[in-house]
Chain A
Amino acid sequence: MVNLIPTQWGGHLKGLSISNKDICKLHIFFIFSKMSIKRAIIGVLALQGGVIEHQSALEKCGVQVVLVKTKDDLKKVQALIIPGGESTTIGKLIRWYGLEEDLKRRIKEGMPVYGTCAGAILLAKNVIGREKAPHLALMDVTIERNSYGRQLDSFESQIEFGEMPAKHKIPAVFIRAPKIRSVGNKVIVLAQMGKEIIAARENNKLVTTFHPELTDKLIVHRYFLDMIPKSLRA
Chain B
Amino acid sequence: MPTPKKHTENNKEAPFKLKSGLAQMLKGGVIMDVINAEQAKIAETAGACAVMALERVPADIRKQGGVARMSDPKMIQEIMKTVSIPVMAKVRIGHFVEAQILESLGIDYIDESEVLTPADEQFHVNKNLFQVPFVCGATNLGEALRRLNEGAAMIRTKGEAGTGNVVEAVRHWRKIKSEIETVLGANDTQLKKIAKEMRVPFELVKTLVKLKRLPVVNFAAGGIATPADAAMMMQLGCDGVFVGSGIFKSSDPAKRAKAIVEATTHFNDPKVLARVSSDLGEPMESQEIEKLGTKYAERGW
| Residues of A bordering B, CB below 8 Å | 4-13, 16-17, 46-53, 69, 84-86, 88-89, 92-93, 96-97, 117-118, 129-131, 145-146, 149-158, 171, 173, 175-176, 211, 214
Q: Which of A13, A97, A130, A151 meets B84, CB within 8 Å?
A: A130
* Of B3-11, B63-71, B160-168, B176-184, the one with at least 4 CB within 8 A of chain A: B3-11
Task: Other than A150-B106, A152-B131, give 10 A-B pairs with Cβ distance below 8 A.
Answer: A10-B210, A10-B215, A17-B211, A85-B27, A85-B29, A89-B47, A89-B261, A130-B83, A156-B11, A171-B11
Q: Which of B5, B27, B84, B131 meets A50, CB within 8 Å?
A: B27
Q: Do A131 and B132 touch (CB < 8 A)?
A: no
Q: Does B280 contact A (CB under 8 A)?
A: no
Instruction: Across the interface, name the chain B residue whose C-beta is closest to A83.
Output: B25
A8 to B215, CA, bound (A): 9
Q: Do A12 and B17 touch (CB < 8 A)?
A: yes
The tally of residues in B whose CB lies under 8 Å from a CB in A reads: 55
Q: Which of A51, A149, A151 meets B22, CB within 8 Å?
A: A151
Chain A residue numbers with a CB within 8 Å of B266 are 69, 97
Q: Do B18 and A156 touch (CB < 8 A)?
A: yes
Chain A residue numbers with a CB within 8 Å of B5 are 152-153, 155
Question: In the complex where A5-B207, A85-B29, A92-B47 touch, is A151 in contact with B11 (Cβ < 8 A)?
Answer: no
Q: Do A131 and B49 touch (CB < 8 A)?
A: no
Q: Do A155 and B14 touch (CB < 8 A)?
A: yes
Q: Does B111 contact A (CB under 8 A)?
A: no
A79 to B25, CA, bound (A): 21
Q: Do B7 and A150 touch (CB < 8 A)?
A: no
Instruction: Across the interface, name the chain B residue whose C-beta is closest to A153.
Output: B5
A84 to B204, CA, bound (A): 28
A40 to B97, CA, bound (A): 54
A-B contact pairs, 15 of them (CB 8 A): A7-B203, A11-B13, A12-B24, A49-B26, A86-B49, A89-B85, A92-B261, A118-B25, A146-B84, A151-B18, A154-B21, A155-B6, A173-B21, A176-B25, A176-B108
Instruction: Across the interface, name the chain A residue whose C-beta is closest to B82.
Output: A130
Q: Do B106 and A48 touch (CB < 8 A)?
A: no
A145 to B44, CA, bound (A): 15
B233 to chain A, nearest CB (A): 15
Contact with A along B94-113 (1 / 0, CB 8 A): 00000000010011110000
Question: In the complex where A11-B16, A86-B50, A153-B5 touch, is A48 in contact with B29 (Cβ < 8 A)?
Answer: yes
Q: Do B204 and A9 touch (CB < 8 A)?
A: yes
Which B49-69 residues have C-beta < 8 A from chain A?
49-50
Q: Which of A85, A96, A129, A151 meets B262, CB within 8 Å?
A: A96
Chain A residue numbers with a CB within 8 Å of B108 are 150-151, 176
Chain B residue numbers with a CB within 8 Å of A10 are 207, 210-211, 215
A96 to B16, CA, bound (A): 35
Q: Do A129 and B84 touch (CB < 8 A)?
A: yes
Instruction: Across the interface, name the chain B residue whose C-beta is closest to A171.
Output: B11
Question: In the complex where A4-B210, A145-B84, A152-B5 touch, is A12 in contact with B132 (Cβ < 8 A)?
Answer: no
B86 to chain A, nearest CB (A): 7
B123 to chain A, nearest CB (A): 20
Q: Do A16 and B84 touch (CB < 8 A)?
A: no
Q: Does B28 contact A (CB under 8 A)?
A: yes
Question: In the complex where A89-B29, A154-B7 touch, is A7 in contact with B85 (Cβ < 8 A)?
Answer: no
Q: Do A9 and B215 touch (CB < 8 A)?
A: yes
Chain B residue numbers with a CB within 8 Å of A52 are 27
Which B114-133 residues have C-beta < 8 A from chain A?
131-133
Question: In the complex where A10-B215, A47-B28 touch, is A175 in contact with B22 (Cβ < 8 A)?
Answer: yes
